């Protein structure tokens, strides 16, 4: 990606955090258990807030991705075989942190026959062995369109199956060259067919050069495949080597996206500059369950 001058962040993207000792505690715990988080690997702007609240989004299956999306800070390259002790390590971290809602994601592992689906399932089961009151949300890759791999994950009974579209289809060649918009939509549709009671979720970024009507079309596509929850956040460029920020979207536009998504029938919508897939995921899930249960 050609280097170019950074845009200055507008005032609504400037935040200050007071440092909490729990940030260091969570960091130390992750190091002790040799675990990765997407918070750290993807340079999430909410890391200090989440670690400060004694929570994190666990990233399984290593810290190198077999795809090289231009928006993402996760390292690209060859991988080691899955660590068979990792599910137990994640469960131990969940226990020590006292989590009742856990979010799991992974790098994309196109080098594995099942894309890492069995490892996802093993990790879900290890967490659920801690107690039935713990809910698990998984943010999965597209498994190269494998329904069998998706079924393997869903058989482990996650509360939420999340798969991000990330951006509008026109921008896929520039932003997600190894992914396919319609393949991702099919995964979300198949998740509903395989496990109708499992909450489905997706998310995308704005500020990459999309048009308003393209966002509306994307939201409509998600509802057509029965997607229950959606997250919308501002794209923030991890480095000069990544896709540039085309536009910083003001808060009133995020609010209009929220209203539009709600009008389409999503059970829960999170829309704002610092919203990310797993940010305050438990709150969004609880909102959805209240709507489902009436």
Taking only the tens place, the pLDDT of each residue in 97-147 is 999 999 999 999 999 999 999 999 999 999 999 998 999 999 999 999 999
pLDDT category, 78, cuts 50, 70, 90? confident
Structural domain contains residue 4: no
Q: Which two tokens stand for residue 260?
A: 């539009």
Quick check: is 161 in a domain?
Answer: yes
Query: What is the number of domains present in the chain?
Result: 1
Note the pLDDT tens digit of each residue in 168-225.
999 999 999 999 999 999 999 999 999 999 999 999 999 999 999 999 999 999 999 9
Structure tokens of 172? 């896929």
pLDDT at 18: 58
Q: Largest alpha-carbon pair distance within the chain?
A: 51
Residue 1, in any domain of the structure: no
With respect to residue 163, please indicate whether it lies within any of the assigned structural domains. yes
Question: What's this model's pTM, rounded to 2 decimal places?
Answer: 0.92
Host domain of residue 83:
17-293
With a cut of 80, say whether residue 1 has pLDDT above it. Answer: no
What crossing angle do the helices spanning 86-97 and 117-128 adopt, rounded to 10°? 40
pLDDT of residue 256: 98
Kindly tell me if the per-residue pLDDT of 54 is higher than 70: no
Instruction: Write out pLDDT tens, residues 3-52.
Output: 445 567 888 777 665 556 677 888 788 888 888 876 675 567 767 667 76
pLDDT of residue 40: 72
Given strand 268-271, what is the order of strands in its sheet? Answer: 36-37, 57-60, 101-106, 135-139, 160-162, 199-206, 229-234, 268-271
Task: Flag whether 193 is in a domain.
Answer: yes
Q: What is the C-alpha to C-alpha distance for residues 44 and 34, in angstroms, rounded to an integer? A: 19
Per the rule left: phi > 0, alpha: psi between -120 and 50, beta: everything else, 37 is beta
In a domain, 22, yes or no: yes
- Give pLDDT, residue 238: 81
- Confidence (pLDDT) at 72: 83
What is the pLDDT at residue 2? 44
- Classify residue 8: in a domain, yes or no: no
- 3-state DSSP helix/strand/coil percent for the chain, to nearest 5? 40, 15, 45
Quick check: is 224 in a domain? yes
pLDDT confidence of residue 3: 43
Whether 292 shows a pLDDT value over 90: the answer reads no
DSSP, res 156? T
* CATH (domain of 141): 3.20.20.70
């Amino acid at each position: 990606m050609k280097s170019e001058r950074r845009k200055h962040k507008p005032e609504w993207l400037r935040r200050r955090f007071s440092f909490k000792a729990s940030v260091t505690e969570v960091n130390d715990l992750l190091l002790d258990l040799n675990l990765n988080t997407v918070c750290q690997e993807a340079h999430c702007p909410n890391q200090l807030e989440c670690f400060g609240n004694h929570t994190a989004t666990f990233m399984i299956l290593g810290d190198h991705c077999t795809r090289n999306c231009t928006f993402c800070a996760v390292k690209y390259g060859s991988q080691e075989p899955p660590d068979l002790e990792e599910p137990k390590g994640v469960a131990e971290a969940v226990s020590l942190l006292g989590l009742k809602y856990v979010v799991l994601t992974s790098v994309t592992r196109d080098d594995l026959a099942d894309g890492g689906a069995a490892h996802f399932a093993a990790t879900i089961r290890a967490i659920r062995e801690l107690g039935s009151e713990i809910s698990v949300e998984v943010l999965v890759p597209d498994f190269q369109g494998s329904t069998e791999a998706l079924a393997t994950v869903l058989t482990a009974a996650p509360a939420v199956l999340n798969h991000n579209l990330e951006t509008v289809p026109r921008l896929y060649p520039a932003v997600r060259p190894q992914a396919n918009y319609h393949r991702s939509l099919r995964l979300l549709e198949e998740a509903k067919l395989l496990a109708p009671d499992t909450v489905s979720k997706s998310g995308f970024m704005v500020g990459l050069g999309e048009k308003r009507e393209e966002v509306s079309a994307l939201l409509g596509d998600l509802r057509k495949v029965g997607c229950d929850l959606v997250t919308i956040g501002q794209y923030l460029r991890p480095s000069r080597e990544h896709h540039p920020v085309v536009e910083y979207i003001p808060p009133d536009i995020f609010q209009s996206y929220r209203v539009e998504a709600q009008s389409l029938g999503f059970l829960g919508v999170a829309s704002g500059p610092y919203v990310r897939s797993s940010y305050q995921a438990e709150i969004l899930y609880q909102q959805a369950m209240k709507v489902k249960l009436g």
